[in-house]
Amino acid sequence: MSYKLLRYFCRLNLTVNQALLVSSVPSNFCTSDKAFLMFASQRRMVGCQSPVPKKSAIYTRTGDKGTSSLYNGERRPKYDDIFHSLGTVDELNSSIGIANYYCKKAGNGLDEKLIEIQCKLIEIGSNIATPRSSSNESKLSYTSFDDEIVMTLESWIDHYDSQLPPLKNFILPSGGECAIFLHQCRSICRRAERITVPLVEAGIADNAVGKYLNRLSDFFFVAARYAAMFENHTENIYQQRRVDKPSNLMSRDMKKE
């Protein structure tokens, strides 16, 4: 096989075996390199070469210059407050996924509600990504977020809190795997609320979005305590450190008093 042919195989990106297959034609078929190259091209077209994967839709390259698109088509820098809010809500959703995994393993009944919350956070993201002051009516209607969803969350809080012993001390994040991850969700939710409230005040997101995030952190607090009680774990209690008094770790049983 001539050097010219080897270079051509490289351009075709043929493997060694494929090149040998192409070059195994009878000598009387290819009387010249030109005819041989024509034959190789035909073999390539019928699948002698592994197909090149189609470009994935996951990446678009449109954000390579540091901007991203909102649902209404407006492009803003990636450091815009809207994307800070969206990113934190997304972080919260990921953390809920971890908590949900452990809650399902424990069988405490919280997993279905956590999945519903994850879906609501996607809807909150759609609302935030559709500025209320600069989007058309159809997009505003499609991404609206109302107070009725907040009321559902409040009913869940009432349901679980009614089963818990009353709070008499500040508690530390504790109480087993489920409870700890739910406390982590609560902390991230508070951060998401702090970042999102200015967007609500600026008229970018619906008022119900701020209310929901505010109430959601309360739900995570109650859910964490309920998860600890369900698995018969104890809560660690805050204790002020004093020079004249040794600090011993205090905990309380989660049985309702």
pLDDT at 9: 46
**Residue 255 in contact with residue 165, Cβ under 8 Å?**
yes
pLDDT tens string 167-176 = 888 989 999 9
Other residues' Cβ atoms within 10 Å of the Cβ of residue 210: 20
pLDDT at 101: 98
**What would the mean pLDDT of 50-75 be, rounded to a whole number?**
84
Using 50, 70 and 90 to split pLDDT, how confident is the model at 29? Answer: very low
Distance CA 63, CA 257 (A): 56
**What would the mean pLDDT of 126-132 be, rounded to a whole number?**
94
Closest CA to 224 of 213, 235, 209, 237: 235
Question: Which residues are 171's β-sheet partners?
Answer: 237
**What would the mean pLDDT of 98-124 be, rounded to a whole number?**
97
Please provide the average confidence, as pLDDT, over all residues in the chain. Answer: 83
Distance CA 109, CA 125 (A): 26
Q: Report the percentage of the chain scoring pLDDT > 70.
A: 74
Using 50, 70 and 90 to split pLDDT, how confident is the model at 46? Answer: very low
176: tokens are 């087993």
pLDDT tens string 149-185 = 999 999 999 999 999 998 888 989 999 999 999 999 9
Which range, of 41-50, 71-80, 113-122, 209-218, averages the lowest pLDDT?
A: 41-50
**Rg of the Cα trace of the chain?**
30
pLDDT for residue 90 is more than 80: yes
